[in-house]
Each structure stands twice: as structure tokens, then as C-alpha cells.
């Protein structure tokens, strides 16, 4: 398993987040056609069609690529967490 970091919008803290070793998760790629896995759901997508995650990051805060659906879910969760303050 690969260990990434996932931000909890409600608690405002990171926790470890594991994905399978065979997932190709990336924060950057020279080849926009390279197939990666969404860092949230694992869906295979071309890197050029991915969105920068608001929630799943490297140790230094760079967001991994996520699919459009997961990007929208992250946006909703972040918005709801901000409203619940």
C-alpha cells in the first residue's frame, strides 16, 4: 500500500490515506495522455483530464490528480465544512 495524506475539511487536519501499490497516482506528469488512477476512487483517466485534489496531498502539500466526479465531491465537502463553522 502507498500512504498518502488526506485532509479532513471538518477537523482541519491530515491523516494517513492508503491506496493500492498498483495505483498510478501522480501530482505531475510530462505525458498528458498517460493513464493514472484517481487518488480518491481509483478510476483510470488520462493525466491531462485530471483535476488537482483539494484533499489528497503529498507530504509537501502538492495535490494528486483526481477525476471530475471526485473533484466535485471534494468541492462540496469543503464548502459544507466551511458553512458548518
pLDDT digits (tens, 9 = 90+) for 21-78: 999 999 999 999 999 999 999 999 999 999 999 999 999 999 999 999 999 999 999 9
Instruction: Supply the pLDDT for residue 39.
Output: 98
Q: Where are the domains of the chain?
A: 2-83
Furthest-apart CA pair in the chain: how many Å? Answer: 41
**Which phi and psi (to 5°) does residue 58 adopt?**
-80, 175
Instruction: Supply the pLDDT for residue 16.
Output: 97
- DSSP E strand boundaries for 9-85: 13-19, 35-37, 44-46, 51-57, 63-66
Instruction: Supply the pLDDT for residue 27.
Output: 97
Q: Per-residue pLDDT for 80 more than 90?
A: yes
Instruction: Supply the pLDDT for residue 84.
Output: 84
Amino acid at each position: 500500500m502507498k500512504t498518502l495524506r488526506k485532509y479532513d475539511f471538518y477537523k482541519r487536519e491530515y491523516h494517513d490515506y492508503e491506496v493500492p501499490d498498483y495505483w498510478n497516482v501522480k501530482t505531475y506528469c510530462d505525458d498528458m495522455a498517460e493513464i493514472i488512477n484517481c487518488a480518491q476512487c481509483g478510476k483510470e483517466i488520462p493525466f491531462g483530464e485530471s483535476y488537482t485534489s483539494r484533499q489528497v496531498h503529498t507530504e509537501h502539500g502538492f495535490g494528486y490528480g483526481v477525476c471530475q466526479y471526485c473533484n466535485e465531491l471534494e468541492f462540496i465537502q469543503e464548502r459544507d465544512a466551511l458553512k458548518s463553522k
